[in-house]
Amino acid sequence: MHEVTKIYESKHKLSWFRSEKRSVTAVKSLSLDIAAGEIVGLLGLNGAGKTTTIRMLSTLLEPTSGSIEVDGMSLHKNRQAIQQKVNMIAGGERMLYWRLTGRENLEYFGKLYGMNSPHIAREAGRLLEEVGLTQAADQPVEQYSKGMKQRLQIARGLINDPQYLFLDEPTLGLDAPIARQLRSTIRKLALDSGKGILLTSHYLQEVEELCDRVYVLNRGELLLCDKPERIVHQVAGSQTAHLEVTGWHESLRPKLLEHLRTFTQPAELMGVCATEKLELQNDGLQRISVKTPSADRIITELLPWTTEQGLSIKSFASEKPTLEDAIILLSEGRVS
């Protein structure tokens, strides 16, 4: 999609005889691309325009301006052909008919895509087996568990064998084992089947695990697009190395700072904070904490130094920011 904008317009009643038009820009001048075999994340706060973007890409909504192309075909001129190449899977329990069986749901949606009956029967059977619902294929969906319904959603989204799959909160409300299985399925669809996948999710660990690139939206506008780890580094910045030792005394502070400067660039050394902020604990432990772009490297350098100074190391760990930390900082308008 290129420079796509979506504006919703509504009438607001002022009195019995007067009303005014109001408009809300859900997506503003957004450009986005998805390659075959790539999993792309779409993140933002509620109201950022994620679902609107997915609905436009799925041909369910018409953009106000801008262009959408799929494999070189314009949505404006080739809507029907594009509909054969895309599909959408939503989280929760939407987009299924509960009174129909699992098999009947797939048959119904297959007919909407113009598939003939023998083809639908083959694909429905194959997909039901692939998502582990063969035994429940002829049960009404209202008897399915939440996990079974979501697996049927996946089968429904694949009934037309789309080249591009748009996933809107696919693991919403699922138990951890089912969500893990679904993530495995998503990864397989990209790696083994070469499908381009766009994923929105509130579970940011899921996005870090799956996505090759991430678009971050704020009020419909693009803030960032990069690999998840680069966004974390750019926005959340520093890591923290923690060492708990016994035998610490204040005369070691200048020696510690001098040692850190021997292998750390001035811009990289962000401070030794815990020796100033934490009191000696009752058990004699003192925590040394250093903020740095590379906590593991700092720990490696500090371990022999502490031994040389007669300190006894009780524990060490590195604390690294996550994509969730980065998104929170962006939402608050703060970057490190």
What is the per-residue pLDDT across 153-182, written as a single tens digit (0 to 9) for each?
A: 989 999 999 999 999 988 887 788 888 888
Range of the structural domain that residue 261 is part of? 238-320
Query: For the chain, how big is the Rg over CA atoms in Å?
Result: 26
Residue 1, pLDDT score = 92
Does position 263 have pLDDT exceeding 70, yes or no?
no
What separation in angstroms does the CA of 195 have from each of 29, 37, 187, 201? 26, 5, 10, 18
Could you give the strand order of the β-sheet that contains 164-168, starting from the edge strand earlier in sequence?
86-90, 164-168, 196-200, 39-44, 213-218, 221-226
243 within 8 A of 298, measured Cβ to Cβ:
no
Query: Considering the domain boundaries, does residue 46 fall inside one?
Result: no
Does position 275 have pLDDT exceeding 60, yes or no?
no
Tell me the C-alpha distance between 247 and 334, whole Å. Answer: 38
What band does 280 get if pLDDT is binned at 50, 70 and 90?
A: very low
Query: Considering the domain boundaries, does residue 20 fall inside one?
Result: no
In sequence order, which residues have a C-beta less than 8 Å from that of residue 184 and are 6 or more positions away? none
The SS3 call for residue 251 is coil
Q: How many C-beta neighbours within 10 Å does residue 94 have?
A: 11
Query: Considering the domain boundaries, does residue 300 fall inside one?
Result: yes
Question: Please, what is the Cα angle at 205 between 199 and 210, to 5 degrees?
Answer: 45
How many CA within 13 A on the CB side of residue 153?
Answer: 27
What separation in angstroms does the CA of 278 have from each of 150, 187, 242? 48, 44, 12
267: domain CATH number is: 3.30.70.100
What band does 274 get if pLDDT is binned at 50, 70 and 90?
A: very low
Query: Considering the domain boundaries, does residue 253 fall inside one?
Result: yes
24 within 8 A of 8, measured Cβ to Cβ:
yes
Q: Are strands 213-218 and 39-44 parallel, antiparallel or unpaired?
A: parallel
* Mean pLDDT within 52-64: 94
Query: Considering the domain boundaries, does residue 192 fall inside one?
Result: no
Q: How many domains does the chain have?
A: 1
Buried b (16+ CB within 10 A) or exposed e, 27-36: bbebebebee
Interhelix angle 146-158/176-191, nearest 10 degrees:
10
* Segment 284-320, tens digit of pLDDT: 578 777 777 777 777 888 888 888 988 888 888 888 8
Query: Considering the domain boundaries, does residue 205 fall inside one?
Result: no
Query: Considering the domain boundaries, does residue 146 fall inside one?
Result: no
Query: Considering the domain boundaries, does residue 265 fall inside one?
Result: yes
The residue whose two tokens read 């204040």 is 250
Question: Please, what is the Cα angle at 48 between 194 and 70, to 5 degrees?
Answer: 30
Tokens of 326: 């980065």
Tokens of 96: 């299924």
One-letter amino acid for residue 73 of the chain:
M
Does position 56 have pLDDT exceeding 90, yes or no?
yes
